[in-house]
Structure 1
Amino acid sequence: MTSAREVKDRCIEAYNRHDIGAMLREFSPAGVLVTPTGIQEGREQVAWYYAHWFAAFSDLKVTAWMLPTSCDPAVTEFTITGTHDGPFLLVDGAELPATGRRIALRGVSVCTIEDGLIVTDRDYYDQLELYSQLGLPVGVGVSS
């Protein structure tokens, strides 16, 4: 029986290769990704979300540094690093042109599976920390 930890680990490996197809194979067709920017439902929306990040940060990588040994859900503490070298869509719909700035975001992911596929993946990171590292003043890019 496949554990959520195994599924999430495969997803992280695909993320670091920027292999969206491999990531989507780990998601249920109706799988949900929850992030500070919103909720993506289904493989098409999940693919759009990751494609956007990979286009904005061509060297984006996740380093998992705490992997508790529970079977389900899979909890992962991580750091995301990358260089902002492409357009990045902000929450308010504005696009931030490449800044060349490096980011390093700490976060946590909680991933649950059914029948060996991700049904929910909830990723938590500090969006204000991200915006600050990109050089945005507080409040810019935040919808009201």
Structure 2
Amino acid sequence: MSNQALQAVLIEHVRAETAHQLEATLATLHPECLFEDYGAHQVFRGRAGAAQHYTQWWDAFDLLFSRGEHGSGRWTTDGHYIAEGEFSGRHVGPLGSLAPTGRPITFRFCVFVSFRDGLLASERFYYDLADVAAQLGVDAGGLRAAFASAQAAGARD
């Protein structure tokens, strides 16, 4: 597929993700997709794993995406997409063992996206977990443990 066709899928993915529309978000993902959240040290496989990844974030934070002051996106010569952006919002719901703090957060991220059969095949998501933890008033180890407990709870559901 051309980058233009893949970009249309990517735009729909971001639109659905931003609107917290799970089924529409999952429809843009390859059935064997892979999500690697390097900040939280989490890996999710397949659409069920992706659903768990999204819902743990959506349930805990009311984040809004923006390109931010330094954000950008670029296609590689082999059809991958690399983007920088910014999330901002508030910690509004539980994240595993971490009760909602109500605190605002803003953090920059970088994501590497690959495609397969015209759908998103993988996302590698990088951000500074220690920065997010400090904004929430917890240490990075505590936030990483909260993500781990959220993932474990989601795996049981």
Q: TM-score category by the smaller chain?
A: 0.7 to 0.9
Q: In the alignment, what sits opposite 2:112?
A: 110
Is contact 1:84–1:99 with CA below 8 Å preserved after alignment?
yes
**Identity %, equivalent residues:** 28
Q: In the alignment, what sits opposite 1:84?
A: 91
Q: In the alignment, what sits opposite 1:92?
A: none
Is contact 1:5–1:73 with CA below 8 Å preserved after alignment?
no
Q: CA deviation at 1:123?
A: 0.8
Is contact 1:27–1:43 with CA below 8 Å preserved after alignment?
yes
In structure 1, which of residues 31, 40, 45 is the aligned counterpart of residue 49 of structure 2? 45
Partners of 1:112 and 1:69 in 2: CA distance: 10
Is contact 2:130–2:139 with CA below 8 Å preserved after alignment?
no
The structure whose residues are more often helix, as a share, is 2
Which amino acid letter does the alignment assign opposite residue 58 of structure 2?
F
RMSD in angstroms over aligned alpha carbons?
1.7
Is contact 1:75–1:108 with CA below 8 Å preserved after alignment?
yes
Verify: 1:63 aligned to 2:70, yes or no: no
Structure 2, unmatched stretches of 5+, are: 146-157
Is contact 1:15–1:61 with CA below 8 Å preserved after alignment?
no
Q: How many residues align?
A: 137
Q: CA deviation at 1:69?
A: 4.4
Which amino acid letter does the alignment assign opposite residue 81 of structure 2?
A
**Residues 31-78 of structure 1: per-residue CA shift (max 9 Å, x gap):** 001112211000001101111111111x21111331124462111101
Structure 1, unmatched stretches of 5+, are: 90-94
Q: CA deviation at 1:6?
A: 3.1
Q: TM-score of the superposition, structure 1-length normalised? A: 0.86
Q: CA deviation at 1:5?
A: 3.4
Q: In the alignment, what sits opposite 1:75?
A: 82
Which amino acid letter does the alignment assign opposite residue 43 of structure 1?
R
Is contact 1:32–1:119 with CA below 8 Å preserved after alignment?
yes
The structure whose residues are more often strand, as a share, is 1
Report SS of the residue matched to 1:96. Answer: coil
Spell out structure 1 runs of 4+ moving beyond 3 A.
none
Q: CA deviation at 1:128?
A: 1.0
Is contact 1:82–1:102 with CA below 8 Å preserved after alignment?
yes
Q: In the alignment, what sits opposite 2:121?
A: 119
Q: CA deviation at 1:118?
A: 1.2
